[in-house]
Each structure stands twice: as C-alpha cells, then as structure tokens.
Amino acid sequence: PEYHWGNYVIFDQPPQRGDLKKWTQIFDQEFNYYKEPHHYTFTWDRERNEKGEYKEFLDAHFSFDSGVVLSTDKLNSPTFPNDSLQIKKILSDKEWNDVVDLQVLCADPKFFNDEYKKFKQEQMKQYRKMASSGLGNWYGAYLNNVLVGDLGIFHDNENARYQNVETHPEYRRQGICGTLVYKSGAIAFEESGIKNLVMEADPDYHAARIYESVGFQPKETNYALSWWKGKK
C-alpha cells in the first residue's frame, strides 16, 4: 500500500476526456484508508492497444507509461552468455539483504525517496515467504562472489512471471542479464512444472531486446497512468 504501484484500479476501457475526476474518486472510495492522497495508479485492459485521451492526467502531473508483455514456452541460449557467472537461489539472510541493497541501488531515480529501502525490505520479505511456500524462487548472479544481478520467478499453476530483473550498474553490458534470465528460467521450467514464462518490460528499453534474444516474444502492450506523493 505504501508503494505507488501498491494499489491500483483496472478499468475496462482507456481514459476519456473528463475521466480524471471520476477515476480519482473511484480510487479514493476503494482505498479509503489513506488519510490524504498517497498515490493514484490506473491501468486498463483492452484487446487492442488503446491509449485513450489522457492529456488532463498529464496536466495534473501524472506519468503515462507503457509496458510490453512477453512470454515463451521455450528458452534459447543467450547470444552473448557470461560463462563466469554463478547463478543460484537466494536463501540466507545475508543473500536476501544483498538483494535489497542491489534493488535499491538500481532504483529509478524518479521513484527513489527516503522510504524506498523500507519498501524494498518489506517487498522482499513477501517474496521470501512466497519462496518458502513453494511458489517460486529468487535468483542471484554472482561474479567473483559479488552479487551483480538478481530476479524473481514465481508461478501460479502453469504460468510463471519474472519479477524485478536488475543488473548492477557497474557490471552492465557483460551478458549478465541474458544469462541470468536464461539460466533461472531453465531451472523454473525443470523444477516447477510450468509451461510458460512471462515478463513485462519497457518497449523502448534495451532489456526487451535482451529478453527476445533468449526466446521471449511480445504479446501485448499495457498502459498506465500514475501519480504519487512527492513525485517530481
């Protein structure tokens, strides 16, 4: 709830002129435990990629974002593998703490504030509980015993989704992301009995191309509007 994507409303149609007031009122009614506006996040689910009319949201300092959903039922070896990496499941307290530190280090500056590390700590506690319950795992990529990349894969029946894929800023462009995505996904296929892997990425960011290089194919595009307290 304290994250700007912690609670959000999904509509069955894209925004139209005049929806700003209506949508924020619906959010306030659904999440009435906020004493004052903490964040607003809206997305919409349509078969076609419809952006709608959202200028009034931008005028109210909302951000408009898009994400491409990719999936695969078979992974390909990365084009540029990093054979020096050790890929392993995150298990110990120290390993989980290192994951928190790396996630905070990789945070988008527009989201970062004094509460962000606390949020990440709580988020990772939840993922750790999910891992302990057999719903998936968190994976780390280690180079000379240094955590240089991490991600989660959690499943619901036959489908599994990647979570929070990150690479240490000082170790990028070394084949770490592609190798980690490939090897962790291979473990998930083998151990969890899943049939499909799913992830979401910025369509204009190079990570989407990395995912496609190991077998992922774009399936749909999601759009969202968001505002949060302290947003610059």
Of the CA atoms within 13 Å of residue 151, those in its CB half-sphere come to 26
**Per-residue pLDDT reduced to its tens digit, 179-217:** 999 999 999 999 998 999 999 988 767 678 899 999 999
What local confidence, expressed as pLDDT, does residue 90 receive? 99
Prediction pTM value? 0.86
Please tell me the class of the 75-214 domain: alpha beta
**Per-residue pLDDT reduced to its tens digit, 130-143:** 999 999 999 999 99
What local confidence, expressed as pLDDT, does residue 188 receive? 97
Rounded to the nearest 10 degrees, how much is the dihedral formed by the CA atoms of 14, 18, 21, 22?
-60
β-strand 9-11 against 39-44: which pairing, if any?
A: parallel
What local confidence, expressed as pLDDT, does residue 1 receive? 54
Contact yes or no for 19/126 (Cβ under 8 A): no
Contact yes or no for 15/54 (Cβ under 8 A): yes
Q: For the chain, how big is the Rg over CA atoms in Å?
A: 19
CA separation for the pair 182, 193 (Å, rounded):
16
CA separation for the pair 188, 84 (Å, rounded):
21
CA separation for the pair 125, 131 (Å, rounded):
10
